[in-house]
Amino acid sequence: MVSVKYRQTVHITMTAPEQKVPLAVEWKDDHIVMLDQRMLPHDFVFENIHSVDKLAASITDMVVRGAPAIGIAAAYGMALAYVNGVDMDKAKEKLEASRPTAKDLFTAVDRIADVWTSGKDPVAAAIDYASEIEEACRTIGETGAELISKDMKILTHCNAGALATVYWGTALAPIRFAHYHGKKPYVFVDETRPRYQGARLTAWELRMEGIPNAIIVDNAAGHFMSRGEVDMVITGADRIAMNGDAANKIGTYEKAVVAHENGIPFYIAAPATTFDPTAESGDAIPIEERSQDEVLEWGGLRVGPEGAVARNPAFDVTPARYITGFITEKGVLKADEIKGVFGD
Ligand code: MRU
């Protein structure tokens, strides 16, 4: 059973009438309200955030996660710094250190810092930034839905839904719109170790909207692909280089290679804010390594033996040659079109 807990009273604002997932991050008057995604799908806990320090910790601890949602939170963080009279350069530095791979974080803080330098209102700019992501994700949904035929079975990894973007999602947006258009998509949801974003968040979002799905263990994707049960793979991305190499949740690379081996189209869905004009290839993308405890423990239970050591890269890079296309607000692009559209 789902219980609703509020640290302080807030209203739940739905992302859209048809979309039943609450806003992951919101600007309210003079502060940020954030849904604690670590508690989902069992508890709704909303945090009121009044300081840049607390926001940076919330991004690092994955209270909010998913590159575009992190970007929106960071834009609001710059607005918060402005409202609180905090040094904007220090705020920017602190936010940039909170999660290194998500390009959207850097896009957002740079945008608001530039607005502030030019003497305009950072709060209005942060709200505009969120609207821009909403519009981009809606377009990604409409555009990507055209690639989906009736009764298609689609595999996705991690959570690139509304929780990860605040609105619509990236990978889940085309699936949502295909569902709204009566195409009856079915989704294989990778559980996504070690934080279970697929099992906890993607399956929850899809269930809320009545989109049929099954959670599979990460290692089962190849099995279903080899048996012809998967028609298409769509994932999100945290950062995309100019040659089309794309960083996304650890395990994405393997899914892309197995999809390629089985002749299954593999798409990355992402807004302009995820493309990095300064990264020529995936070699330039910083990969976050997170705590060993995420691998060695789950839910307070020790999984590995005493003294065990773990490695925990949060992302991997899928080479462009395995990616069929990039679903963006500028259309479905091939790798060699990226620089022309999103380059400096
Ligand atoms: O570690 P997370 O949960 O922030 O990782 C999220 C992903 O890998 C998403 O696929 C990516 O950020 C795109 S979200 C639209």
Give 224-272 pLDDT, tens digit per residue: 999 999 999 999 999 999 999 999 999 999 999 999 999 999 999 999 9
C-alpha to C-alpha distances, 137 to 132, 161, 171, 327, 333, nearest whole angstrom: 9, 10, 9, 10, 15
User: What's the pLDDT score for residue 14?
Assistant: 44
Ligand 1 mean position, distance from CA 120 (Å): 31
CATH number of 3-135: 1.20.120.420
Using CA positions, which residue lies closest to atom 10 of ligand 1? 236
User: What's the pLDDT score for residue 39?
Assistant: 94
Residue 80 is encoded by which pair of tokens?
């918060």
Using CA positions, which residue lies closest to atom 6 of ligand 1? 66
Which of the listed CATH numbers 3.20.20.140, 2.10.109.10, 3.40.50.150, 3.40.50.10470 matches domain 143-342? 3.40.50.10470
Selection from 97, 96, 120 nearest residue 109 by Cα = 96
Low-confidence residues of the chain, pLDDT below 50? 1-14, 17
- pTM of the predicted protein model: 0.94
Residues whose CB falls within 8 Å of the CB of residue 113, separated by 6 or more in sequence, listed in order = 78, 88, 89, 92
Atom of ligand 1 nearest to the CA of 270: 15
C-alpha to C-alpha distances, 47 to 16, 29, 84, 266, nearest whole angstrom: 21, 15, 18, 36
Active site residue 114: no
How is the chain split into domains, by residue range? 3-135, 143-342
User: What's the pLDDT score for residue 293?
Assistant: 95
User: What's the pLDDT score for residue 21?
Assistant: 79
Beta strands in the chain (DSSP E): 3-6, 14-16, 19-22, 25-28, 31-35, 43-49, 153-156, 186-190, 213-216, 232-235, 239-240, 246-249, 266-269, 297-298, 301-302, 315-318, 325-328, 331-333
Question: Of 238, 245, 276, 316, which is the active-site residue?
Answer: 238
Per residue in 171-181, pLDDT (tens digit) is: 999 999 999 99
Ligand 1 mean position, distance from CA 88 (Å): 26
User: What's the pLDDT score for residue 3?
Assistant: 41
Atom of ligand 1 nearest to the CA of 70: 4
